[in-house]
Amino acid sequence: MAETANPFEMARQQLAAVADKIDLDANVHEVLRHPKRELTVNFPVSMDDGSVKTFTGYRVHHNVTRGPAKGGIRYHPDTDLDEVRALAFWMTVKCAVVNIPYGGAKGGVVCDPTALSPAELEDLTRRYTTEIAILLGPDRDIPAPDVGTNGQIMAWLMDTYSMSVGHTVPAVVTGKPIAIGGSEGRIEATGRGVVTVAREALRAAGCQLPGATVAVQGFGNVGSTAAMLFCRAGAKVVAVSDVRGAIHNANGLDLVKLSAYNKAHKTVVGFSEAEPIAPDDLLTLSCDVLVPAALGNQITTKNADRIRAHFVIEGANGPTTPQADDILRDNGVVVVPDVLANAGGVTVSYFEWVQDLQRFFWSEAEVNSKLEQIMTRAFGQVQAAARRHGCDLRTGAYIVGIHRVAEAILARGIYP
């Protein structure tokens, strides 16, 4: 099959491959091939200069058999319906892999948040929230941050929804500031999960994290947190990149200094204790661990045979195409897939939701301990499935996740 950059077709290819592997019930396969519901909204926003601009947004529920819809909202100029469909599907699988009681959803607005003023960003968020509010609710659909969004945007979303129902509803969204019901440890959760499963993957191969060399593509919330935690675990982070470029230091980057530089300059480019490299070259560096933590479709047939990392830990969603997966597997590269590797974020989102519903909050140490338990258990279950079926970890993760979703669909039956 020809390589495709369409993320939803890529997701369907992944589903089909696992369906064949586990002899998935044909009716369940048919259900999972299609999102349950899709909402497209076009809404006006008053800009600072007095003009009105129309933006397009999406919210997709892939499957809600196992619980309320859960998934982030991204603000990005290149987002489209097929991307959101794919991301919603991956959320369905991801929640099942770590065995938390959610279904999969995703949202997006076609915009460049960096080109909007704070007032424009707030107005866009509040109007988008109003447009998709017919889907939202703490027992129906619980959004979270994703690419281009953050805790402040989630706070505006929560406030807008709360105003519409007449009372404060913290549990309608996760990834909020702690002051309004957010959870300790949520900001670092995805990056922490990445490092946890990287450690487990290395251990399973008879290796260890201390002393391992790491390259991280993307220095946003996930990549920067993962890089810092890799460093604290004794690994040597030799390269990082962001949207403006990439840097490399074979002796290891000082993550404390680099984080301070990035905070001051809004980029890693120009950091004095590293050399600039081409962003594409970061992916093919000789290293132990490669963490693609930017956007999808980064490892393809064009560069997969030049990947020299021993382990690829997918911090981003959909960074590796199915055809590239085949090449990496043939070359002996261990890929820990996105539906496992970056599930730390949705896991602590689940913790946040539970805390909001109970109005009872946990310490950061409790959150991190529970996250460690869930991620370690999930890796062990995925590894066991991969060994049992003689397949790679991505297929193993899909076997675990799709089996749980299929079991729920068959137990509930098809209404009416």
Q: What is the CATH number of the domain that holds 205?
A: 3.40.50.720
Residue 200 belongs to domain spanning: 187-332
Domain membership of residue 253 (yes or no) is yes
Report the alpha-carbon distance of residue 97 to residue 37 in Å, rounded. 22
Residues 282 and 327 both lie in one domain: yes
Please confirm, yes or no, whether 94 is among the known catalytic residues: no
Which pLDDT value is given to residue 359? 96
Q: Looking at the structure, do residues 165 and 191 belong to the same domain, yes or no?
A: no
Helix (H) or strand (E) holding 270: none
Whether residue 215 sits in one domain with residue 82: no
Q: How far apart are CA 255 and CA 247, in angstroms?
A: 12
Q: What is the CATH number of the domain that holds 76?
A: 3.40.50.10860
The structure's pTM equals 0.94
User: Does residue 226 lie within any of the structural domains?
Assistant: yes
d(CA 379, CA 202): 12
Residue 192 identity (one-letter amino acid): R
In a domain, 174, yes or no: no
On whether both 142 and 252 belong to a single domain, the answer is no
Q: Are residues 82 and 154 in the same domain?
A: yes
**Domain co-membership, 224 together with 305:** yes
**CB-CB contact of 35 with 86 (8 Å):** no
Instruction: Give SS3 for 307.
Output: coil
Residue where a domain stops, chosen among 138, 169, 200? 169
Please report the pLDDT score of residue 1 as a whole number.
42
Question: Is 159 in the same domain as 195?
Answer: no
Distance (Å, whole) CA 274 – CA 240: 10
Of 12, 371, 345, which is closest to residue 146 (Cα–Cα)? 345
Residue 305: its pLDDT value, please? 96
Q: From edge to edge, which strands make up the β-sheet containing 245-248?
A: 275-277, 245-248, 236-242, 213-217, 289-292, 311-313, 334-336
- Rounded to whole angstroms, the Cα distance separating 285 from 85 reads 32
Q: Tell me, yes or no, whether 393 lies in a domain.
A: no
Please identify which residue in the block is written with the tokens 């002393």.
211
Choosing from 94, 106, 176, 236, which is the catalytic residue? Answer: 106
Contacts of 39 (CB under 8 A, 6+ apart): 58, 59, 60, 132, 134, 135
Amino acid, res. 183: S
- Residue ranges of alpha helices (H) inside 166-297 are 186-204, 221-232, 255-265, 279-283
- Name the residue among 269, 183, 268, 182 with its Cα closest to residue 223: 268
Residue 8 within any structural domain of the chain: no
Q: How far, in Å, CA of 361 to CA of 369, rounded?
A: 14
| Residues of the chain falling short of pLDDT 70 | 1-5
Q: Are residues 129 and 243 in the same domain?
A: no
pLDDT at 5: 65
| The last residue of a domain, from among 308, 332, 356 | 332
Task: Name the token pair of 71.
Answer: 């998934």
Provide the β-strand partners of residue 232. none
Same domain for 50 and 153, yes or no, is: yes
The reply to whether 51 and 150 lie within a common domain is yes
Are both 209 and 161 inside the same structural domain? no
Sheet with 69-76: list strands edge to edge. Answer: 37-46, 52-63, 103-110, 69-76, 141-145
Please report whether residue 380 resides in a domain: no
DSSP string covering 63-113: E-TTSSEEEEEEEETT--HHHHHHHHHHHHHHHHHTT-S-EEEEEEEES-G
76 domain residue, yes or no: yes
pLDDT, position 3: 59
CB neighbour list of residue 283: distance below 8 Å, 6 or more residues apart: 215, 217, 290, 292, 298, 299, 303, 306, 307
User: Does residue 126 lie in a domain region?
Assistant: yes
**Residue 104 confidence (pLDDT):** 98
Domains held by the chain: number: 2
My answer on whether omega of the bond before 118 falls inside 30° of 0, hence cis, is no
Q: Are residues 142 and 230 in the same domain?
A: no
Last residue of a domain, one of 312, 332, 352: 332
